[in-house]
Amino acid sequence: MTPTDTYTETPLLTPNRARTGVRSPRPTPGQLLDFEREHREQSGWKDEAIRAELGIAPAWYHALLGRAWRSPEGQAHDPILCRLLADQYDRFVAARRGAAHLTQGPHV
């Protein structure tokens, strides 16, 4: 898949589908971004809200959210939130790189 492919081309695979054989509806990039804007705080209840309101697992939500803010549809829907999420992701990656460098130990 290339970055220009549409958001909806990847099939939805959820644990529920394996048990029931029923395909769950996938939230659109707009729905994911709206949900994220309404629930910006990181807390335990957010996981429950993801399950209750979107009907998906929190890990799947974060994977789809990452696709949503990178997609043309997501960028058009809420460019400011997409920029905030991109900045947050860049800080996360930079912190991980720094932590990985510190854990490698001394070079001889």
The per-residue pLDDT for 82 is: 98
Between 97 and 76, name the one with better pLDDT.
76
Residue 98's domain comprises 27-103
Indicate whether 32 belongs to any domain.
yes
pLDDT, position 41: 78
Task: Please check whether residue 88 lies inside any domain of the structure.
Answer: yes
71 Cβ contact list (under 8 Å, min separation 6):
6, 7, 29
Cite the DSSP H helix spans in the chain: 15-20, 29-38, 44-49, 58-70, 72-77, 79-103
Count of domains forming the chain: 1
Residue 14 has pLDDT above 50, yes or no: no
Would you say residue 9 lies in a domain? Answer: no
Q: Answer whether residue 10 is part of any domain.
A: no
**68-85: per-residue pLDDT in tens?**
999 999 999 999 999 999
Structure token digits, residue 53: 């309101």
The number of residues making up the chain comes to 108
CB 77 within 8 A of CB 30: yes
Q: Is 64 within a domain?
A: yes
Cα distance between residue 24 and residue 57, in whole Å: 11
- Only one residue has tokens 């996938």, namely 26
Q: Model-level pTM?
A: 0.68
CA 97, 87, 13: angle at the middle one, nearest 5? 85
